[in-house]
Amino acid sequence: MSAPPVALVTGANKGLGRETARRLAHHGYTVLLGSRDFGRGLETARRLADEGAPVVPVELDVTEPASVASVADRVRRDHGRLQVLVNNAGVTTGTRNLATTVTDMRDLFEVNVFGVVGLVRALLPLLREARAPRIVNVSSTTASLALTGDGRAIPGETDRRLAYASSKAALNMLTLQYARAFQADPALAHIKINAASPGFTATDMNGHRGTRTVAEGARIIVELATLPDDGPTGGFFHDEGPLPW
């Protein structure tokens, strides 16, 4: 029998990450549940196991190169390949738009953008070895230049999203650029990468003010993580279909 596919979900000890890990476990994946606080990750893994969704907790701080390298080494040693990478770890700030500082921006970009680049770079050799590798970058509808430029009402605190929306817009461009780079390399062309918007989901990040459940928000993440071979790459989606950049 072949070994089950392996998935790594970052920021997975709660919220969307936890729900994504749970669903992938039910899909038959060996799920590595990444958590900056290993104790919380271990507790989440215990609860998921009780629900019939066993996962493997791993300590992972996406802003620390040594932590990223350690996880990459573990995946290489234990599995030899990685089928799914879900870049879910993300932060926001409660600072109002006009009060946002350079430090605020740097702190968000370290996690929401630079952390993704570090993980993709470290795990690319393992993704390359998988038959149908998938990368999902968890983005936000607030990152859409088109919707924002049209003055569309996007749920959430519009006066506090300058840093967050900017970081997610950068993440969207990373998604597109990685997709083009993979397609141009015959050894990487089988990797599909897409950005997912879960919508205004009730999580700790927004004080649970979101109007969608984590089950609803995780739907598009899991769909993109389990795409068939003829599925899209380099796209930006929510659960009703493509979103404008």
pLDDT at site 1: 57
Please write down the long-range contacts of 23-26, taking CB distance under 8 Å and 24 or more positions apart: 23/53, 23/218, 23/222, 24/84, 24/86, 24/222, 24/225, 24/226, 25/53, 25/54, 25/55, 26/52, 26/53
Average pLDDT of span 129-143? 97
- Give residue 204's pLDDT band: very low, low, confident or very high (50, 70, 90): confident
* pLDDT for residue 235 is more than 90: yes
pLDDT at site 157: 84
Under a CB-based contact definition with an 8 Å cutoff, are residues 201 and 216 in contact?
yes
Average pLDDT of span 32-59? 97
Under a CB-based contact definition with an 8 Å cutoff, are residues 75 and 6 in contact?
yes
Average pLDDT of span 183-212? 89
Average pLDDT, the chain: 95
Q: Per the residue annotation, which of 164, 178, 200, 236 is the catalytic one?
A: 164
Q: Is 164 a catalytic residue?
A: yes
Token couple for 117: 């680049």
Which residue has 């141009």 as its token pair?
A: 184
Average pLDDT of span 198-217? 83
